[in-house]
């Protein structure tokens, strides 16, 4: 068993069950590793990359459960949540990380329509449905935590080819604030994390010589581990009165 899977007797999340969506790679995978390090029992949800998901589970060893599901499908969303909740009698923390940077070409009517529908389904409605399931379960458990991964696009909009993506992420940001305001009385906390460019599959095409990097204050794209550490801290519940807040993780590339 690797050092990553060593049990933490003083972890921030000892005994907690956390569902992380879209966790076979990138931010999701880094988050699973960080949560596990802090003692959590982690449900690693993935869409279709079984090999990567299984490799992470094998590396970490215990306290990991794999759940597969296409979150574009409402029935699959409900099933994924049910499997996660059944594992240990409920979920304490939901991390909505799954998403995709999907285009919405304005010059092609069909592509425009399909882009909006796809972004709405995966980047907004899927996490919204999982938030609903979480809230219903948290009420019975006396509370819980939701961390939604949005984007800097939620604040500033995205480029011309990805307008629908920015709009969907903006909706997810508003949803997070609404949950924090509406369900705080039920001891339900909700946070948003808004990364900029992160070293994941989305940015894999950017070379170290790309002029874009020269404009980044730190001179590099954000490592997924930086995002994962913030998600893990918020999932711990150690900063209750931060509920409703959005944490920007952009290396000062975008500062509000």
Residues in the chain: 256
Q: Say if residues 153 and 164 touch (Cβ distance below 8 Å).
A: no
Element housing 161 (H / E): none
**Which residue among 24, 104, 153, 165 is the active-site one?**
165
CA distance 247 to 242: 10
- Reduced to 3 states (helix: H, G, I; strand: E, B; else coil), residue 148 is strand
Which residues neighbour 80 within 8 Å (Cβ) at sequence distance 6 or greater? 21, 45, 67, 68, 69, 71, 130
DSSP class of residue 99 equals -
Q: 165 an active-site residue? A: yes
Active site residue 8: no
Q: Is 151 one of the annotated active-site residues of the chain?
A: yes
Residue 250 parent element (H or E) = none
Nearest to 89 by CA among 107, 111, 121, 65: 65
Catalytic residue among 169, 183, 191, 236: 169
From the candidates 16, 24, 46, 151, give the one annotated as an active-site residue.
151
Q: Active-site residues: which are they?
A: 151, 165, 169
């Amino acid at each position: 068993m690797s050092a990553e899977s060593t049990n933490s007797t003083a972890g921030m999340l000892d005994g907690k069950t956390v569902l992380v969506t879209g966790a076979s790679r990138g931010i999701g995978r880094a988050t699973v590793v960080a949560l596990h390090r802090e003692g959590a029992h982690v449900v690693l949800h993935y869409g279709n990359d079984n090999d990567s998901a299984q490799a992470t589970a094998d590396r970490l060893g215990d306290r990991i459960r794999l759940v597969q599901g296409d979150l574009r499908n409402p029935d699959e969303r409900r099933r994924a949540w049910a499997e996660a909740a059944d594992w240990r009698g409920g979920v304490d923390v939901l991390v909505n990380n799954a998403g995709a940077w999907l285009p919405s070409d304005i010059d092609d009517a069909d592509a425009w329509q399909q882009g909006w529908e796809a972004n709405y389904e995966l980047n907004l409605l899927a996490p919204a449905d999982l938030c609903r399931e979480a809230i219903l379960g948290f009420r019975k458990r006396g509370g819980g935590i939701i961390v939604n991964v949005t984007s800097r696009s939620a604040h500033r909009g995205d480029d011309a080819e990805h307008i629908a993506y920015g709009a969907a992420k903006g909706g997810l940001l508003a949803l997070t604030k609404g949950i924090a305001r509406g369900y705080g009385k039920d001891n339900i906390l909700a946070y948003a994390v808004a990364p900029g460019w992160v070293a994941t599959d989305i940015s894999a095409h950017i070379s170290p010589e790309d002029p874009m990097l020269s404009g980044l204050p730190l001179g590099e794209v954000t490592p997924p581990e930086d995002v994962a550490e913030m998600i893990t801290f918020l999932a711990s519940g150690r900063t209750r009165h931060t509920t409703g807040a959005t944490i920007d993780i952009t290396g000062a590339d975008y500062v509000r």
